[in-house]
Structure 1
């Protein structure tokens, strides 16, 4: 897998967290850089761990699906991409814009739960990558760093940009995943011919 593909996967995996961060930033009264960096770090660490877990699961089953692994990667990436596009097109439900108080412990767990919810797709990416010749540590690091940067930016820009950019970012991320899945399938089918 090329470095550009890895970077694009990192970007695509961070777009849903970016959308959530924009919503969080819009709900905060005056987001400060330390708060944004803290949220970015929480999201980034979770987003880096989940593809590793997915990769381990995929490696455990890889011998059983070796003949059609490229189709699995294509279907998983395509399905995730379509899901992200649909989520980006769907109108938001009314969200509670109140801060949960000044309790740092509650805010940490709220951020961690949101980070976990937005990282489920990264676990599926890890499963997909288990069937390819790619260093999962590098991919997980790139996903984590992209998420850290995107969440930090999302919170800081949330007040200004609101939900409009967040939804579009999720759509772009979905399109990127579909393109990467199609290119993996094309490379495998072209290489086999």
Structure 2
């Protein structure tokens, strides 16, 4: 895999965090740069840690499933991508009033938005891809996306966060398809 692939995966994974960040910006109009940094850092940190956990698990069981690993990677990425697309096409719900500065909420959001990164790490482990480079890219992209989402969230209509989920789902599903095609025909 190359830099472009890692960037696309990072962008695809960061759309959940971006959408959450947009919501934070919409909820707290007074959010400032310094207040946004810890939230974005937490989202990026978890988005970077979960692939490592998945990678270790994938590397451990890789020998047992090496003949079907590309199918597993495709299915997992497609499921996550389709889930994101479905979430993106749901009608806008009523925004609930919450405090995005609450540590408990930030940690909950960080874990919730990083589950798909765990699956991506699992796929990397199956394919025996070194994890350090992709994790750095995924974390950096997520941090930037989260900062942009929060700082500009109050200016972005809520429907755009749904569109970003759809785009992220398409990217992840496309990456799964790319992995499947590479293993089947190349």
Q: Does the pair score TM above 0.5?
A: yes
Task: Say which of 106, 127, 131 aligns to 1:132.
Answer: 127
Size of the aligned set, in residue pairs, is: 186
Separation in structure 2 between the aligned mates of residue 57 and residue 171 of structure 1, nearest angstrom: 28
C-alpha deviation, 1:115, in angstroms: 0.9
C-alpha deviation, 1:92, in angstroms: 3.8
Q: What is the TM-score when the length of structure 2 is the normalising length?
A: 0.95
Separation in structure 1 between the aligned mates of residue 88 and residue 156 of structure 2, nearest angstrom: 15
8 A Cα contact 2:74 2:179, kept in partner:
yes
Deviations 1:120-179 (A, max 9, x none): 000011111112242211111111111111111000111000322111111101101111
Q: Which residue in 1 is equivalent to 2:176?
A: 181
162-171 or 12-21, larger mean C-alpha shift: 162-171
8 A Cα contact 1:8 1:176, kept in partner:
yes
115-124 or 125-134, larger mean C-alpha shift: 125-134
Q: 1:133 to 1:64 in 2, by over 3 A?
A: closer
Q: Which residue in 2 is equivalent to 1:143?
A: 138
Q: Which residue in 1 is equivalent to 2:82?
A: 82
Structure 1: gaps (5+ residues)? none
Separation in structure 2 between the aligned mates of residue 46 and residue 178 of structure 1, nearest angstrom: 21
Q: 1:162 to 1:90 in 2, by over 3 A?
A: same
Q: Which residue in 2 is equivalent to 1:26?
A: 26
Alignment root-mean-square deviation, CA? 1.3
Q: Which residue in 2 is equivalent to 1:95?
A: 95
Moved >3 Å (runs of 4+): none
C-alpha deviation, 1:98, in angstroms: 4.2
Structure 2: gaps (5+ residues)? none
Q: Which residue in 1 is equivalent to 2:156?
A: 161
Deviations 1:105-128 (A, max 9, x none): xx1221111011010000011111
8 A Cα contact 1:46 1:119, kept in partner:
yes
2:175 maps to 1:152: no
